Amino acid sequence: MPSIESSRIAHSIGTALDRFIKNNQSQFQYASGELSQLLRDIALASKVVNREVNKAGLIDLMGAVGSQNMAGDEQQKLDVLANIRFTRALAKGGEVCALVSEESDSFVDLNNEGQYVIAIDPLDGSSNIDVNVSIGTIFSIYRRKSPAGTPIQELDILQKGSEQVAAGYVLYGSSTMLVYTTGYGVNGFTYEPTLGEYFLSHPNMKIPEDGKIYSINEGSSNSFAQPVSDYLKFCKEKNYTARYIGSLVADFHRNLLKGGIYIYPATAKDPKGKLRLMYECNALAFVVEQAGGKASDGKERILDIALTDLHQRTAFFVGSKNMVEKAENFN
Ligand code: AFP
């Protein structure tokens, strides 16, 4: 009978994120190492945010800070802190020339020679912080269009989701995970806190084509459009399981692993949908497509929707391919 220690040693600890990024750098069409560095900067900032999230209850970081962000949500202390952590890490790296964040009114021009534009929701689901429920960071990376070193233009910022060169999310859950794509499949890394490193735990992630989980805030069902109500009726007739955390990254991640659909439709309160195209839906749409799933606003592919505004909202149907198609067919 092997001792616990020797059986542990028999298993290699796996590939660290840094090593993985380096090994796969050549896949990327602009293989200059800049994008790799950018991903490392995001990983580092997420470790700092993870540390703050884990001790939030101890150091009075919970609770609202009193102000509201651009989208009108109450800003939580940790939202503000996460925004600062990510902005600092990305500004310091020098690869990012402009940053769009849920927490700021307009984009931030970082005044450098960087080739990349990043759209980020530094801490999504922040109303869940006080009750110890999973939250996340969502990011989209674009290549700038105007020449490096010149002032940032609208065409650099308002790019369609299909132009993302990388995207992903960090889930601060029962364990912390970083999941991302550069357009060559989706890989998931789990944070090992004692080593301070992310390790590849979910290589080449694929979402099941079909599923039995539907995730929607049914509290607003009185104002759903008829096709959404009809689809929900169908889910119930099929005895599907309802699961809704109210934290987009956590709901999305569960459905990615198990198969399912997440819907945030237009409601009376949010007639265009609640979620933000640029720093919530585009990233998750890129990830889900790379994992074999689908994302639309009920009709149009999310990645094809033209952007006219930084804080533009959209209805969001995302998850297993067959489930999203079925929901769209009710339209
Ligand atoms: P907060 O960051 O303000 O908590 O918003 C989170 C979110 O944008 C997204 O994570 C959830 O899926 C969605 O809102 C939940 O919204 P409802 O409470 O309206 O269902």
Question: 3-state DSSP call for residue 17?
Answer: helix
**79 is known as an active-site residue:** yes
Residue 66 has pLDDT above 70, yes or no: no
Provide the pLDDT confidence category of residue 117 given band limits of 50, 70 and 90. Answer: very high
Tell me which of 34, 41, 121, 297 is the catalytic residue.
121
Q: Of 16-25, 48-57, 320-329, where does mean pLDDT reach its minimum?
A: 48-57
Q: Which atom of ligand 1 is nearest to the CA of 73?
A: 3
295-313 average pLDDT score: 96
Measured between alpha carbons, how far is 20 from 4 in angstroms, rounded to an integer?
28
Nearest CA to ligand 1 atom 12: 248
Q: Which atom of ligand 1 is nearest to the CA of 276?
A: 8
**pLDDT on residue 131:** 86
**pLDDT on residue 68:** 63
Could you tell me which of 191, 246, 213, 223 has the C-alpha nearest to residue 46? 191
Nearest CA to ligand 1 atom 7: 125
Q: Of 35-49, 64-78, 149-163, 309-323, where does mean pLDDT reach its minimum?
A: 64-78
Which of 67, 129, 216, 264 has most ligand 1 atoms within 8 Å of CB, for mutation? 264
The ligand 1 site (C-beta within 6 Å) comprises 73, 124-127, 217, 246-248, 274-275
Q: Which atom of ligand 1 is nearest to the CA of 127?
A: 4
Nearest CA to ligand 1 atom 16: 246
Provide the pLDDT confidence category of residue 210 given band limits of 50, 70 and 90. Answer: very high
Nearest CA to ligand 1 atom 6: 125
H/E stretch holding 275: strand 275-276
**124 is known as an active-site residue:** yes
Strands 186-192 and 176-181, by their bridges, are antiparallel
Show the tokens assigned to 16. 């660290």
48-66 average pLDDT score: 74
**pLDDT on residue 127:** 81
What's the predicted TM-score (pTM) here?
A: 0.93
Q: How many CB atoms lie within 10 A of CB 57?
A: 12
Provide the pLDDT confidence category of residue 126 given band limits of 50, 70 and 90. Answer: confident
pLDDT tens string 240-288: 999 999 999 999 999 999 999 999 999 999 999 999 999 999 999 999 9
**pLDDT on residue 64:** 62
CA of 34 to the centre of ligand 1 (A): 32
Measured between alpha carbons, how far is 271 from 51 in angstroms, rounded to an integer?
37
Measured between alpha carbons, how far is 64 from 78 in angstroms, rounded to an integer?
9
**280 is known as an active-site residue:** yes
pLDDT tens string 139-183: 999 999 999 888 899 999 999 999 999 999 999 999 999 999 999
**192 is known as an active-site residue:** no
Please give the residue that has the higher pLDDT: either 76 or 325: 325
**pLDDT on residue 27:** 76
**218 is known as an active-site residue:** no
Tell me which of 95, 280, 289, 297 is the catalytic residue.
280
Q: Which atom of ligand 1 is nearest to the CA of 74?
A: 3
Measured between alpha carbons, how far is 41 from 245 in angstroms, rounded to an integer?
28
Measured between alpha carbons, how far is 311 from 153 in angstroms, rounded to an integer?
17
CA of 267 to the centre of ligand 1 (A): 13
Strands 213-215 and 241-242, by their bridges, are parallel
Residue 67 has pLDDT above 80, yes or no: no
pLDDT tens string 180-207: 999 999 999 999 999 999 999 999 999 9
CA of 196 to the centre of ligand 1 (A): 29
Measured between alpha carbons, how far is 272 from 267 in angstroms, rounded to an integer?
7
**pLDDT on residue 104:** 85
Provide the pLDDT confidence category of residue 75 given band limits of 50, 70 and 90. Answer: low
237-242 average pLDDT score: 98
